[in-house]
């Protein structure tokens, strides 16, 4: 290797030559710096917050929340689930599909669809994402998947890749499940969006775009208001409409259940009265957009119920409804005073449950309204904070910094 001047022959004016080279070197450095700034600005731009509407799934016969995305050029309305990883939609031809108002996804008419092969690392990622390894028996070339949910629901099909559009942002070669056999409590939604922490979740696949940060504000189920799902943005909170400052608590790592979001629930208060129990802080509590009603360990629930009944006294009692055992007849009342309900977390973070998340309307005429909490069977079971208690709250998941934030926000998009 020789210097390029070796080939340039004799140099009459060395100073002029050196000056010219230094100027060229400066131009190169400026070019590199400009390129770096462009790449960084591009990263900031693609990491800027993408906001898409999120709605109650009641109109699709679901108590979960839904968003509409574009997959392979077709719209798909899917359930938002932080407790799942694999995103999937119902596909045709379908062996066993439930009814949905939108057309089934048809991979054969999408020019950007590709199947995932059995011998790929993506297929091998299914074990950590779904608990079931990819199915490749009988010399199958395509990677087949099975996902079973805790309520008995399931989806089965093959893994595929296609062009996903979220708002104005594209995710190329997005891996998802093409469901050929689907049954369960999905209402009329076209599928499910997995926002867990494994490699196959949406937030992991798009980490280069959104930086491992997302948040949502869930609207009340009984209103026509629309909340928002915001992907990306790092610490840029300018797009939020929160009325209180954001308070953060760290995520609790659980190696056996690493894809779920666990927090350390350190206390609960109702009407300003703190619930005292030794169970607090002993194990992580899961926060989940796909669970509806918050579940508490029995001893905590019993204490909470006792304090609530003392503060919410004088109203006629009604029989329990399903998992809800504390119900009232409020049809004769135009106005009732509902105690404030707050959850405290490690690090001083606090989530005040919106007033619409304290009572559950079983009957629209208010003749049967129940306390919107339920008890787990045993104290060593994991508590879950459901979406009913997360309404009108900005919940921020910052995987990069391993923390979750809360702030009050009236959800409107």
Active-site annotation, residues: 81, 288
Q: What radius of gyration do the chain's Cα atoms show?
A: 26
Determine the Cα–Cα distance for residues 342 and 267; give it in Å rounded to an integer. Answer: 8
Residue closest to 391 by CA, chosen among 369, 364, 370, 412: 412
Determine the Cα–Cα distance for residues 372 and 392; give it in Å rounded to an integer. Answer: 16
Q: Which phi and psi angles does 147 have, rounded to 5°?
A: -125, 125
* Helix or strand run (H / E) with residue 327: strand 327-328
Residue closest to 355 by CA, chosen among 332, 370, 339, 371: 339
C-beta of residue 156 within 8 angstroms of C-beta of residue 181: yes
Q: What angle do CA 307, 308, 310 make, to 5 degrees?
A: 65
Determine the Cα–Cα distance for residues 127 and 119; give it in Å rounded to an integer. Answer: 14
Determine the Cα–Cα distance for residues 264 and 249; give it in Å rounded to an integer. Answer: 8
Determine the Cα–Cα distance for residues 408 and 349; give it in Å rounded to an integer. Answer: 12
Determine the Cα–Cα distance for residues 138 and 27; give it in Å rounded to an integer. Answer: 61
Residue closest to 290 by CA, chosen among 388, 224, 373, 207: 388
* Helix or strand run (H / E) with residue 299: helix 298-311
């Amino acid at each position: 290797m020789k210097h390029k001047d070796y080939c340039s022959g004799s140099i009459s004016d060395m100073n002029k030559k050196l000056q010219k080279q230094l100027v060229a070197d400066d131009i190169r450095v400026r070019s590199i710096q400009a390129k770096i700034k462009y790449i960084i600005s591009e990263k900031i731009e693609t990491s800027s917050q993408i906001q898409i509407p999120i709605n109650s799934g009641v109109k699709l016969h679901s108590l979960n929340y839904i968003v509409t995305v574009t997959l392979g050029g077709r719209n798909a309305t899917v359930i938002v689930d932080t407790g799942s990883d694999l995103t999937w939609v119902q596909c045709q031809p379908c062996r066993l599909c439930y009814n949905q108002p939108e057309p089934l996804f048809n991979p054969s008419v999408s020019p950007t669809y590709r199947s995932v092969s059995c011998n790929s690392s993506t297929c091998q990622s299914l074990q950590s994402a779904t608990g079931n390894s990819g199915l490749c028996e009988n010399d199958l070339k395509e990677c087949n998947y099975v996902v079973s949910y805790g309520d008995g629901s399931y989806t089965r099909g093959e893994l595929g890749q296609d062009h996903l559009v979220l708002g104005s942002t594209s995710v190329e070669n997005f891996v998802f499940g093409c469901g050929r056999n689907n049954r369960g409590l999905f209402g009329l939604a076209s599928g499910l969006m997995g926002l867990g922490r494994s490699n196959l979740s949406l937030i992991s696949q798009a980490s280069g775009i959104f930086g491992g940060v997302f948040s949502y504000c869930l609207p009340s189920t009984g209103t026509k208001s629309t909340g928002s799902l915001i992907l990306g943005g790092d610490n840029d909170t300018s797009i939020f409409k929160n009325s209180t400052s954001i308070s953060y608590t760290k995520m609790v790592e659980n190696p056996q259940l690493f894809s779920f979001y666990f927090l350390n629930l350190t206390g609960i208060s109702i009407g300003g009265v703190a619930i005292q129990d030794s169970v607090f802080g002993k194990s992580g509590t899961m926060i989940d957009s796909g669970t509806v009603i918050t579940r508490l360990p029995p001893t905590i629930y019993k204490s909470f119920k006792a304090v609530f009944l003392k503060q919410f006294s004088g109203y006629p009692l009604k029989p329990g409804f399903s998992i809800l055992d504390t119900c009232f007849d409020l049809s004769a009342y135009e106005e009732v005073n509902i105690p404030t309900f707050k959850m405290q977390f490690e690090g001083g973070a606090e989530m005040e449950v919106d007033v619409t998340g304290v009572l559950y309307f079983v009957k629209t005429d208010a003749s049967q309204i129940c306390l919107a909490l339920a008890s787990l069977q045993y104290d060593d079971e994991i508590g879950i904070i459901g979406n009913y208690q997360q309404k009108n709250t900005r919940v921020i998941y910052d995987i990069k910094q391993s923390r979750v934030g809360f702030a009050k926000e009236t959800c409107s998009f």
